[in-house]
């Protein structure tokens, strides 16, 4: 089941996603600093913000992959196969 935040992110434009990511990362840095200095009332907020950043990055990457043509996707698959063989 998709989360409410994920469904909300699908409606954003690329520019909105980038600005949202920037502001969320700034908010996370501020929260981390505040937590280190005086502590937060609810430290689980850090986890939620980190997950929001991951959601934003995932949506941006999903869109990036959707824009790729078949040739680039095929090349990407070769790279992934080579990485798997190396392990």
For the chain, domains (ranges, CATH) are 18-86 (1.10.287)
Alpha-carbon distance of 16 to 78, in angstroms, equals 32
Altogether, the residues listed in the chain come to a count of 87
Beta carbons of 75 and 68 less than 8 angstroms apart: no
In 47-79, which positions are buried (b, 16+ CB within 10 angstroms) versus exposed (e)? eebeebbebbeebbeeeeeeeeeeeeeeeeeee
**Predicted pLDDT of residue 53:** 95
> Which pTM was predicted?
0.79
Q: What is the pLDDT of residues 26-83, one digit of tens each?
A: 999 999 999 999 998 999 999 999 999 999 999 999 999 888 888 887 777 777 788 8
Q: What is the pLDDT of residues 47-56, one digit of tens each?
A: 999 999 999 9
């Amino acid at each position: 089941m998709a989360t409410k935040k994920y469904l909300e992110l699908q409606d954003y434009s690329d520019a909105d996603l980038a600005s949202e990511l920037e502001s969320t990362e700034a908010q996370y840095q501020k929260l981390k600093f505040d937590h280190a200095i005086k502590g937060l009332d609810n430290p689980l907020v850090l986890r939620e913000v980190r997950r929001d950043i991951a959601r934003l990055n995932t949506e941006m990457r999903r869109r990036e992959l959707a824009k790729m043509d078949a040739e680039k996707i095929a090349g990407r698959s070769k790279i992934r196969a080579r990485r798997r063989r190396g392990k």
